[in-house]
Amino acid sequence: MNTPLAHAVEEAGVTALAPVLSVSGLAKSYDGRVILQSLTFALSERQSTALIGANGSGKSTLLKCLVRLTEPTAGRIDMLGQDVRALGPNELRRFRAQVGIVWQRHNLVPRISALSNVVHGVQARMSGPRSWFQALAPATVRAEAMSCLERVGLADRAMTRVDSLSGGQQQRVAIARMLMQRPAFILADEPDASLDPQTGEEVMALLLGLVRQDGLSLLMISHRLEHTLRFSDRILGLTQGRITLDQPTALANVTDLRRFFEHPETP
Amino acid sequence: MTAMPIPPPPRFRPLRLLNYLVLLLVLGLIISSLAATAPPLDKVWRGVMRLFSPSGLFTQMFPPDFSRIVPISWKLLETLQMAVAGCFLGLILAVPFAILATDRLSPHPVVRLGARAIIALFRTVPDLVWAIIFIIIVGLGPAAGVLAIMVDKIGFAGRFFAEAMEESDPGPQDAMRAIGASKLGMIVSAVFPACLPSFTATSLFALEKSVRGSAALGLVGAGGIGVELKVAFDLFNYDEALAIILMMLALVIAVEQGSGWIRRKLI
Ligand SMILES: Nc1ncnc2c1ncn2[C@@H]1O[C@H](COP(=O)(O)OP(=O)(O)OP(=O)(O)O)[C@@H](O)[C@H]1O
Ligand SMILES: [Mg+2]
């Protein structure tokens, strides 16, 4: 596995890669209250980027704006070669299908099996009754769902109801469902937040593995300094809706970072 | 501790003039209503005494006459069939109405308002009135009863289905939307499983209500055992009327017990 440092050096040397995500002048306000203001940054492919910042600094809002789960107020977003803000409703659906999201809460559908939940991921590219539950799914879809579960180490729990799994297992099922989407880009909003330290670390390692082995791009929010340092190639720091830090993880200064994990700064 | 303890607040807030006015209004409404409609006690007493006199209703009812138990049983079966058929159709049709009436799932606020209005109308007009309307449309007999029960159940279940979906956790639904699932896919695979226990409970209550309701529908000619009851009363066969009432009671209790048992098993 590449070390973060090797990646940073590589990035410094090779600038040819087109950015997989580029954001310029992105702004968001809720009822006149400014949450994000003129954010500009670009991420290159096959990288893990950590987004850090105090509570309420606008991290989740930024993630949601990227796939227009909330509509940005201004700015331009280019992601996976598409002008995101110009997409019509159907194009937006197809675009979202390519972006896997891991939420802080797993957001699985209760009362049904892990396998059915993973099969739901296929709704990114097919619809109709055969994508609704594992029992109705085509053999190829079921097989792919099983291999996604295997990837997160839960193949043996395929038929267990998700609400009877542990928090860490549920988060892994959510990651398996996201893999079922065959995403090109992963957004993760504090995937480690509700997990104990070791389980959280496993989940983060799983996500980083997708970047290193499968060449996906990852933008993740974490409230843990150790995770930020260990599982990212690059760090973006947000303070009151502005980017106040943007550097390769290998070059990051721990005392600099620490202030992003402490109290919200007073203006 | 030197600080003065903070005294607890007064038990009751002082009443304002407006509160007094509202209170007076409510009291006035209750008293005037009682005065206008409540039967005088002596009249009630005389009526009750007459029931038990040698030629009175109660005396003539005993012992119940089960001599026509076979034809009555067939009518009772028809009553149950009307209830089951009407309830089934009503529950199926209640689902789309409920979806249109649910905040998060309705395509447009105007559609939602319309759906709510229809559900409220179906629920507000009593099933006996629906039966009379459907007798005009399809003529006397069980078909009119089935339609009346169906409409009544759309009103009943539509409201509770919508309420259950309104209260369901939005997290899994948003996650499905973010995957790029179609609306139908999202509803069937994320909303329905979460609402299943509540849907089941509502359906069982709807069935109980249908059975109780369908027993009365015959009184206006919409099929079922009510016809038998009406005829028995019209011909002063009070002992047979009691037999019919007892059999209706047995059916209702059996259905209520059965559905209560299922409800406990499922939830
Ligand atoms: N739907 C909304 N309507 C109004 N204000 C909102 C909404 N969502 C978020 N906000 C506000 O936007 C600000 C940023 O919220 P956001 O959730 O993006 O912060 P965050 O950086 O993710 O914080 P945390 O670390 O607590 O998750 C907060 O002040 C919040 O109150
Ligand atoms: Mg957040």
Residue A35 in this model has a pLDDT that exceeds 70 = yes
pLDDT for A193: 85
Provide the mean pLDDT of chain A. Answer: 88
In the block, residue with structure tokens 């149950």: B80
Q: What is the pLDDT of residues A209-239, one digit of tens each?
A: 999 999 999 999 988 899 999 999 999 999 9
Confidence (pLDDT) at B20: 87
Q: Is A61 touching ligand 1 by the criterion CB < 6 Å?
A: yes
Instruction: Tell me the ipTM for this assembly.
Output: 0.82
In this predicted structure, what is the pLDDT of residue B68?
A: 85
pLDDT band at A263 (very low <50, low <70, confident <90, very high): low
Dihedral, CA of residue B133, residue B138, residue B140 and residue B146, to nearest 10: -80
pLDDT score, position A24: 94
Task: Verify whether ligand 1 is closer than 6 Å to residue A57 (CB atom).
Answer: yes
Chain A residue nearest residue B182, CA to CA: A127
For ligand 1, atom 17, name the residue with the nearest CA.
A60
Q: In angstroms, how far apart are the furthest CA atoms of chain B?
A: 88
Tell me what the mean pLDDT of segment A167-173 comes to.
Answer: 92
Condensed to tens digits (0 to 9), the pLDDT of residues A3-16 reads 444 444 444 444 44
What is the model's pLDDT at position B237? 85
pLDDT of residue B2: 61
- The per-residue pLDDT for A2 is 43
Protein residue whose Cα sits closest to atom 26 of ligand 1: A55
Nearest CA of chain B to the CA of A112: how many Å? Answer: 7
For B171, which residue in chain A has the nearest alpha carbon?
A107
Q: pLDDT for A87-144, tens place per residue?
A: 998 899 899 999 999 988 879 999 999 999 999 999 999 989 999 999 999 999 999 9
**Residue A264: which pLDDT band, with cuts at 50, 70 and 90?**
low
Per-residue pLDDT for B233 more than 60?
A: yes
> Which residue of A34, A37, A61 sits with most ligand 1 atoms within 8 Å of its CB, as the best mutation to test the pocket?
A61
State the architecture of B79-266 in CATH terms: Orthogonal Bundle (1.10)
DSSP string covering chain B: --SPPPPPPPSSPPPPHHHHHHHHHHHHHHHHHHHHHSPPHHHHHHHHHHHHSTTSHHHHHPSP--TTHHHHHHHHHHHHHHHHHHHHHHHHHHHHHHHHHSTTT-S-HHHHHHHHHHHHHHHHS-HHHHHHHHHHHH-SSHHHHHHHHHHHHHHHHHHHHHHHHHHS-HHHHHHHHHHT--HHHHIIIIIHHHHHHHHHHHHHHHHHHHHHHHHHHGGGTSSSTHHHHHHHHHTT-HHHHHHHHHHHHHHHHHHHHHHHHHHHHH-
Per CB-CB distance under 8 Å, the chain B contacts of A123 are 176, 179-182, 185-186, 189
pLDDT score at A17 = 60
| Model confidence pLDDT, tens digit, residues B93-118 | 999 999 999 998 999 999 999 999 99
CA distance A53 to chain B (A): 23
State percent of chain A over pLDDT 70: 92
| Domain definitions of chain B by residue range | 79-266
- Residue count of chain A: 267
Of A114-118, A147-151, B14-18, where does mean pLDDT reach its minimum?
B14-18
In chain A, what residues touch B185 (CB-CB under 8 Å)?
123, 127-128, 131-132
- Centre of ligand 2 to C-alpha A202, Å, is 21
pLDDT exceeding 70 applies to what percent of chain B?
Answer: 99
